[in-house]
Amino acid sequence: MHASRVRHERLNMFQLHEVTKVYRRREQEVVAFKACSLAITQGEYVAVVGPSGSGKTTLLSILGGMLSPDCGQVLFDGESLYDLPIAERTKRRRERIGFVFQTFNLVPYLTALENVQVPLFLNDVANAEQEERAMALLGQVGLGNRLDHKPSELSTGQQQRVALARTLANNPSVILADEPTGNLDPDSREAVLAMFDQFVREGRTIVMVTHDPAAALRATRRLTLRDGEVQEAMIRHAA
Amino acid sequence: MNLKTLVWREIWERPSAMLTSTLAILLGVTALVAIRHVTVFSEREVGQQLQSLGANVLVLPKNSTLQDYYSADLTEQTLPESHVASILLANLPGVERLSPKLCVSTKVGDRDVTLTGILPQTEFQAKAVWQTVTLFSNKHEGCKKAACGPKTYDAAPETLASQRTIDQLKGNEAVIGADVADFSGLKPGKSLTLLGEKLQVLAVLPRTGTIDDSRVFAHLHTVQRLTNSGEVVNAIEVMGCCEDAAGKLVPSLAELLPDAKVVTISQVVSTQVGINRLMSQMSLLVLGILVVVGGASVASTISSNVRERRREVGTLMALGATPSLVARMFLLKAWLLGIVGAVSGCVLGLIVAKVLGSQWAGVSVKPLPGLMGIAIVAALAVTTLAALWPARSAAKLDPCSCFQEV
Ligand SMILES: Nc1ncnc2c1ncn2[C@@H]1O[C@H](COP(=O)(O)OP(=O)(O)OP(=O)(O)O)[C@@H](O)[C@H]1O
Ligand SMILES: [Mg+2]
């Protein structure tokens, strides 16, 4: 195992074996996601595409340790995610995974600064350091002068930038993004994708669900889902 | 940022959402604190009355009321003084001391005072010796009070305030209450003029907080002579050796003195005791209402809060909040709600108790920290218990709801 890692020079971030997720509603079974074998290595920039209802969000939830599959194994950094107790699984997510949502999911009653502080607080970072790092991150996304604004007082693009600062707060090794550009104007969209490019350049991993063909093109790998099944398309290994 | 600021911010975003349940807790605690305060102080007052009057039986004129006795307004109705001798001669078991009284209203300077004629205990002794009756040696069967030794009758005159009898008092002497001493400036050894007679102040009584403070006590026969009322009294206080004896004395005294009204002190305060018992039961009822209404209201507020924050909770979980942290978030919210309701309820309840206590029950109420502590703890226990189930359901929310679009 160790030898193979050295040989490939890249670690497997995620490995899925025989994973199936089925929803049963009113005697009707929906196979929301199914994968015999799927690996996502460190440093990959994966675009997940497919029609609505094809299981893209289901895949992200499974990777994020938030939706246990009906069968199969999900390895995250070599650990079987769903064999961990829920508190441990939450801890992995808290320390290593960042999420980006289509609707940003900022906490409405907190200011921009406080929103960025949330993941730091959840990671037990001391208050002074929380503020310092949150201010620096908001400065990086160009919102150093909007610290005390609530989400409702920010434009859509600004909200997504606050959300990005929040995603980066705990310095994650993986970003799981569900249509991160779906609600954005072209400029804001470009800002998000530029930040993702930078993230990947640092050797980190992104799994991005997108309906946007141009955004999908910037990824190094594309997974197409159809009725819950993975169909690997075009592989374009990153340099 | 910590859990407290998170919860605090959320509350202040929409404080009106918490209004109903905070109000329910507040009103419950208010009612509880107010009723308990009035009850406790009313019970204390009754206790003091009982203590100040001892195990007494009162012998009153047939048509006078207890209210008359308390307001010392007994000038209309009288009893013959010979009743005192009748009681002495009957040698009833359990009688310890007798205190016949005759009250008249008069003035010292320009202030109204009640002049009360009393008979010193030495004169009973004289009577007893002359009539060869063993004075008050007749203990009733099973009396729990230790038998008293031979009496010496030389106690200080100030004991009148606590014992309600005086051992020695001459015909030209007077003992004055604390209020009378205050406004007249009289001291022991000085003299005062009442109804045209000069009396020497023997002692000033310690303050009792009762009507006794505005009385002037003088010898019964002096008062009878000054008011030309003949050999009469307004009331005879019969001190039993203990509470037990007082009850048994009533029928025998009633038989002995058919033209008089015989009552015990416990009868005097029985209505008050009844009201107090009712109030105690009512505070239990209010506690029940606090638990049911307050609890249900808190539970429904927190449940609907959990429901409308599903996506936020999912997002927090995606960011790494554990289920137990989510549960604590809602418990803390309920707890803050409980604290605000309970503390303001305590303050409001105390104000209500002060106003109503003096207006309805005639008692002055002071804050009872222990009682308020219990009320706050009870309110917190109710809110915590009520929020437990909604908090658990929040902890079980699906983190995937963070991906749902609004
Ligand atoms: N909680 C659920 N209960 C029942 N069925 C579900 C549930 N969540 C998803 N599904 C079903 O699973 C399938 C995959 O859903 P999923 O949300 O992953 O699709 P998606 O590819 O993200 O779609 P979209 O592009 O519209 O977001 C759908 O058919 C959906 O109806
Ligand atoms: Mg989706």
Q: Is the pLDDT of residue B146 over 50?
A: no
Q: Do B403 and A90 touch (CB under 8 A)?
A: no
Supply A184's token pair. 């954005």
B66 vs A38, B264, B399, CA distance in Å?
A: 97, 10, 74
Strand partners of residue B118: B101, B219
pLDDT value of residue B142: 59
Strands B215-219 and B111-118, by their bridges, are parallel
B269-291 mean pLDDT: 82
Residue showing tokens 């994968």: A35
In chain B, residues with a C-beta closer than 8 Å to the C-beta of A32 are none
Structural domain contains residue A111:
yes
Q: Which domain holds residue A221?
A: 43-65+84-235
Structural domain contains residue A93:
yes
Is the pTM for the entire model greater than 0.80? no
Structural domain contains residue A182:
yes
In this prediction, residue B151 has a pLDDT band, given cuts at 50, 70 and 90, of low
pLDDT value of residue B242: 67
Q: Rounded to whole angstroms, how far apart are CA atoms A201 and B111?
A: 101
CATH of the domain at A211: 3.40.50.300
Task: Look at B55-64, B132-141, B154-163 and tell me which has the smallest mean pLDDT.
Answer: B132-141
Q: Is the pLDDT of residue A5 over 50?
A: no
Q: Do B320 and A170 touch (CB under 8 A)?
A: yes
Task: Look at A41-55, A158-172, B128-142 and tell me which has the smallest mean pLDDT.
Answer: B128-142
Q: Is the pLDDT of residue B144 over 60?
A: no
- Please report the ipTM that was assigned to this predicted complex: 0.93
In chain A, residues with a C-beta closer than 8 Å to the C-beta of B319 are 94, 99, 118-119, 122, 166
Q: Rounded to whole angstroms, how far apart are CA atoms A194 and B227?
A: 112
Helix axis angle, B369-395 to B323-356, nearest 10°? 150
- Number of domains chain A is built from: 1
**In chain A, where does DSSP find H-type helix?**
2-8, 56-63, 86-96, 112-122, 127-140, 156-168, 186-201, 213-217
pLDDT value of residue B145: 54
Q: What is the mean pLDDT of chain B?
A: 84
What would the pLDDT profile of B320-359 be if each residue is shown by its tens digit? 999 999 999 999 999 999 999 999 999 999 999 999 888 8
Structural domain contains residue A37:
no
Residue showing tokens 């009294």: B233
Q: Residue A223 in contact with residue A232, Cβ under 8 Å?
A: yes
Q: How far is CA B195 from the centre of its chain?
A: 37
In chain A, residues with a C-beta closer than 8 Å to the C-beta of B7 are none
A192-212 mean pLDDT: 95
Q: Rounded to whole angstroms, how far apart are CA atoms B53 and B62?
A: 21
Pocket of ligand 1 (CB under 6 A): A 23, 25, 30, 32, 50, 52-58
pLDDT value of residue B360: 76
pLDDT value of residue B398: 93
Q: Is the pLDDT of residue A209 over 60?
A: yes
Structural domain contains residue A201:
yes
Q: Is the pLDDT of residue B51 over 70?
A: no
B396 in A contact zone (CB under 8 Å): no
Residue B394, burial from CB neighbour count under 10 angstroms (0-12, 13-18, 19+): buried
Task: Look at A100-104, B7-11, B44-48 and tell me which has the smallest mean pLDDT.
Answer: B44-48
pLDDT value of residue B253: 87
Q: Residue A95 in contact with residue A86, Cβ under 8 Å?
A: no
Q: Do A127 and B1 touch (CB under 8 A)?
A: yes
Structural domain contains residue A36:
no
Name the minimum distance, in Å, from the CA of A19 to any CA of chain B.
18
Q: Residue B219 in contact with residue B171, Cβ under 8 Å?
A: yes
Ligand 1 atom 29: residue of nearest CA: A53
The gap between the terminal CA atoms of chain B, to the nearest Å, is 26
pLDDT value of residue A7: 46
Ligand 1 atom 25: residue of nearest CA: A52
Q: Rounded to whole angstroms, how far apart are CA atoms B304 and B333?
A: 13
The gap between the terminal CA atoms of chain A, to the nearest Å, is 24
What percentage of chain A carries pLDDT values higher than 70? 93
Ligand 1 atom 27: residue of nearest CA: A52
Task: Look at A222-231, B14-23, B236-245, B258-267 and tell me which has the smallest mean pLDDT.
Answer: B236-245
pLDDT value of residue A107: 96
User: Which sign, positive or negative, has the C-alpha torsion B206, B210, B215, B217?
Assistant: negative
Name the minimum distance, in Å, from the CA of A55 to any CA of chain B.
12
CB atoms within 10 A of CB B243: 16
